[in-house]
Amino acid sequence: MPETAPPDSSLPALPARTLRRALLTWYDGARRELPWRTPRGETPDPWRVLVSELMLQQTTVATVQGRFEPFLARFPTLAALAEAPLEEVLHAWQGLGYYRRARALHACARAVIERHGGRLPLTADALADLPGIGAYTAAAIAAIAGEEAVVPVDANVERVLSRVLAMEAPLPGARPKLRASAQRLAAPERAGDFAQALMELGALVCTPRRPACLACPWQRWCAAARRGDQESFPRKVERAPRAVRHATAFLLERVDGAVLFRRRPLEGLLGGMIELPSTPWLEDPEAVAAAMADSAPARTVWTPIPGEVRHVFTHLDLTVRLVRGTIEDGEDGMWTRPFRFSELALPTFTKKLLRHAGLRW
């Protein structure tokens, strides 16, 4: 007789109503106070929900917590952000990463003005048509701000459900199945709380490593916990290794202390953000040396700054050497003295280089 893997259990076999009640009861006692959360029973401002959800895409709660209120103070309403130039939105997004989100939020706000009279739609279908809003974010906003009975599925929910089901199929291929399973748990009552409770469970109890199963309101229904291999879920397909790149960046200073910057193209990595001039980012360090003459922003004496700066992006491991040069003046470009660096949309990568050069602002 051939060996067969145990079949995945399925949510329809689980008592949805009982699961919902257990989770909501747990949530009422365990929920964190977060800047974008209103007191229980109060309906949140859709604009605040939209901003929080965009910020939280692939970004930890800890990071967003310190950034949310300052951003809201600068852009208190959807209309305020729609009226602002993109450059200001990028500036406010410094350090948050995935800068396309800032452009998407800007485009989204303008689309809401044009297509919805300035009022954010609160159904998942309508939300999903807006820039930067995909399946997860549409469901999250619709549930939290609109009390629509939809279940957003983020990485927390994927982890929780893949464990409850002991789902052998790996992510991301199994995502549609997980979304369908999640939606079977939806209820018309307390849709926003249920959505947040499910994510909160993943964040506080059903964690990637060493989940606190003894504190879990769903433990008795969890197939993985029963088997004792809960940490092995969700199964995932192996990722490609990160590419390695090298570059040399040019710190060109004018006699008045101004530094030459440039803006990256809107599309692609660090789109629209400000950087130091540099060689192309190349696999071969020797090719970088060969590219220096063509890449230098001015003809002057370039003095190496000792050491190097390593910056790891999602799919790139970049090592940068810095050289410093001085010119009298006359060069066109984005010249900025250090006391005005704070006005530039500087990604962390650029700030690292500036700090490595000993500049403070």
Report the candidate in 259, 296, 295 with the shortest Cα–Cα distance to residue 275.
Answer: 259
**Residue 105 binds DNA, judged by CB under 7 A:** no
Per DSSP (E only), the strands in 182-258 are 243-254
Report the candidate in 54, 84, 85 with the shortest Cα–Cα distance to residue 67.
Answer: 54
Looking at 96, 142, 222, 247, which residue binds DNA (CB under 7 A)? 96
Looking at 161, 203, 274, 344, which residue binds DNA (CB under 7 A)? 203
In angstroms, rounded to a whole number, what is the distance separating the alpha carbons of residues 337 and 356? 17
Count of positions on this chain that bind DNA (CB under 7 A): 59
Q: Give the nearest distance from C-beta 196 to DNA in angstroms.
A: 6
Among the candidate windows 19-27, 133-141, 179-187, 287-295, which touches DNA by CB under 7 A? Answer: 133-141
Among the candidate windows 21-29, 199-207, 329-337, 353-361, which touches DNA by CB under 7 A? Answer: 199-207
Among the candidate windows 69-77, 118-126, 183-191, 234-242, which touches DNA by CB under 7 A? Answer: 234-242
DSSP for 29-79?
HHPPP-TTPPSTTPPPPHHHHHHHHHHHTTS-HHHHHHHHHHHHHHS-SHH
Using the 8-state DSSP alphabet, how is residue 270 labeled? T
Among 3, 33, 42, 53, the active-site one is: 53
Report the candidate in 359, 322, 325, 324 with the shortest Cα–Cα distance to residue 247.
Answer: 322
Provide the mask over 135-154, with x wherever binding to DNA is found by CB under 7 A and - wherever it is not: xxxx-x-------------x
Q: Output the CA–CA distances (angstroms, integers) from residue 103 to 97, 115, 202, in the order listed.
A: 12, 18, 29
List binders of DNA among 35-64 (CB under 7 A): 36-37, 52-53, 56-63
Looking at 72, 75, 97, 288, which residue binds DNA (CB under 7 A)? 97
Looking at 74, 177, 226, 311, which residue binds DNA (CB under 7 A)? 311
In angstroms, rounded to a whole number, what is the distance separating the alpha carbons of residues 121 and 238? 38
Q: What count of other Cβ atoms lies within 10 Å of the Cβ of residue 287?
A: 12
**Residue 269 binds DNA, judged by CB under 7 A:** yes
Q: Give the nearest distance from C-beta 70 to DNA in angstroms.
A: 15
Looking at 51, 81, 163, 196, which residue binds DNA (CB under 7 A)? 196
Using the 8-state DSSP alphabet, how is residue 278 labeled? B
In angstroms, rounded to a whole number, what is the distance separating the alpha carbons of residues 134 and 136? 6
Looking at 348, 357, 359, 361, which residue binds DNA (CB under 7 A)? 348
In angstroms, rounded to a whole number, what is the distance separating the alpha carbons of residues 345 and 263? 9
Residue 88 is among the residues annotated as catalytic for this protein: no
Report the candidate in 32, 25, 48 with the shortest Cα–Cα distance to residue 140.
Answer: 48
Instruction: Give the residue numbers marked as catalytic.
Output: 53
Q: Which residues here bind DNA, judged by CB under 7 A? A: 34, 36-37, 52-53, 56-63, 95-100, 104, 131-138, 140, 154-156, 159, 172-173, 196, 199-200, 202-203, 208-210, 236, 239-240, 268-271, 311-316, 347-349
